[in-house]
Copies of this chain bind each other. A is one copy, B any other.
Amino acid sequence: MTNQTTHPDQITIGVFDSGFGGLTVLRELLPLIPAARYLYLGDTARLPYGSKSRETIARYAVSSARFLLDQGADLLVIACNTATALALDDIRTAALPIPVLGVIEPGAQAAAKVTLAARESTGQTPGSQILVLATTATVQSHAYSHALARLSIHATEKACPLLVPLVEEGWIDHPVTREVARIYLSEALAEDRSINTLLLGCTHYPLLHPLLQQTLVDLGRPLTLIDSAQATAQAVAACFQQASPLRERKGALCTFYATDFTDKFERLGSRFLGQPLSGVHLIDLGG
């Protein structure tokens, strides 16, 4: 793709994550841009990125981005909060000349829109109005609070390291997960009464959307939930809608790659994608 006005039925969208979580972004992309071809890469041999250093994450993410570029991607979606937070610039440099979109800017912009609308309608004094839930590495990078600060919004960030393993255990609607969510949310919300928006800053968290929403109600703090996965898919779609209306094609063409364990990828991945997933190609990126 030479520019972002190319019609979507001529393009290949590369979607990259450290594991399965990015499939929640692909899930949102499929109905929005059904005419595109998709290449999905989960760097499952080297996951999780969330507990690793910036240098390591950048090295892993760049080699993954290059793989998708070599496979013919015309546009790259970094469907991984940690890789976007810590390595988007490195990936953009490595993946030139194709456009690279991360999940943080779209998520921050969608949350900011809700918060600014609420501020206007209620005349609420600005405080820490958005609560971001994310992995430890994403929180430590402060990528969301920096992105929101550029939009004149102060954010509270909360690392929730147990939510990913709970989702991967399949405890999507489980008393233990409800208790962990209650602990994390009440700790974070106790700090600031002015929070009105909850931003899900990890691609695993959309699977906990109903549980988190119920927990907020139980805590007496029914916030608006914004999902970075959904916001990112909309940002990608917006690139094309400016050019021409999207045409339908029967079933998008998806090719899946993983650096490890294809059976686990298929089993867990279907849960994230929201539909059966098969024929995953095992690839070796070294390491």
Interface residues of A (CB under 8 A from B): 44-48, 51-53, 56, 161-162, 164-166, 168-169, 175-176, 179-180, 183, 259-261, 264, 286-287
Closest chain-B Cβ to A179's Cβ sits at a distance in Å of 6
Closest chain-B Cβ to A181's Cβ sits at a distance in Å of 11
Asked whether, in the complex, the Cβ of B52 is within 8 Å of the Cβ of A261, the reply is yes
Task: Tell which of B45, B46, B169, B176 touches A179, judged by Cβ atoms closer than 8 Å.
Answer: B176
26 residue pairs bridging A and B, Cβ less than 8 Å apart: A45-B52, A45-B53, A45-B56, A46-B46, A46-B287, A47-B51, A51-B264, A52-B260, A52-B261, A53-B260, A53-B261, A56-B259, A56-B260, A161-B169, A162-B166, A162-B169, A164-B165, A165-B165, A175-B179, A176-B176, A176-B179, A176-B180, A176-B183, A286-B286, A286-B287, A287-B287
Task: Tell which of B56, B161, B169 touches A168, judged by Cβ atoms closer than 8 Å.
Answer: B161
A66–B232 CA distance with the chains assembled, in angstroms: 43
* Residue of chain B at shortest CB distance from A262: B53
Q: State the number of copies, please.
A: 2
* Residue of chain B at shortest CB distance from A264: B51
A44 surroundings in chain B (CB, below 8 A): 52
A161–B168 CA distance with the chains assembled, in angstroms: 9
Closest chain-B Cβ to A21's Cβ sits at a distance in Å of 14
* Residue of chain B at shortest CB distance from A168: B161
A264–B161 CA distance with the chains assembled, in angstroms: 14
A208–B165 CA distance with the chains assembled, in angstroms: 18
A165–B204 CA distance with the chains assembled, in angstroms: 16
A46–B165 CA distance with the chains assembled, in angstroms: 17
A161–B51 CA distance with the chains assembled, in angstroms: 16
A175–B176 CA distance with the chains assembled, in angstroms: 10
Other A-B pairs, 18, CB within 8 Å; known A44-B52, A286-B287: A45-B56, A46-B46, A47-B51, A48-B48, A51-B261, A52-B260, A52-B261, A53-B261, A56-B259, A56-B260, A161-B168, A161-B169, A162-B165, A162-B176, A176-B179, A176-B180, A176-B183, A179-B179
A102–B239 CA distance with the chains assembled, in angstroms: 54
A48–B49 CA distance with the chains assembled, in angstroms: 11
A44–B46 CA distance with the chains assembled, in angstroms: 11
A52–B52 CA distance with the chains assembled, in angstroms: 17
Closest chain-B Cβ to A130's Cβ sits at a distance in Å of 24
A180 surroundings in chain B (CB, below 8 A): 176
A53 surroundings in chain B (CB, below 8 A): 45, 260-261
Most chain B CB within 10 A, of A165, A166, A183, A261, is at A165
A164–B169 CA distance with the chains assembled, in angstroms: 12
A165–B183 CA distance with the chains assembled, in angstroms: 16
A248–B4 CA distance with the chains assembled, in angstroms: 71
A169–B184 CA distance with the chains assembled, in angstroms: 12
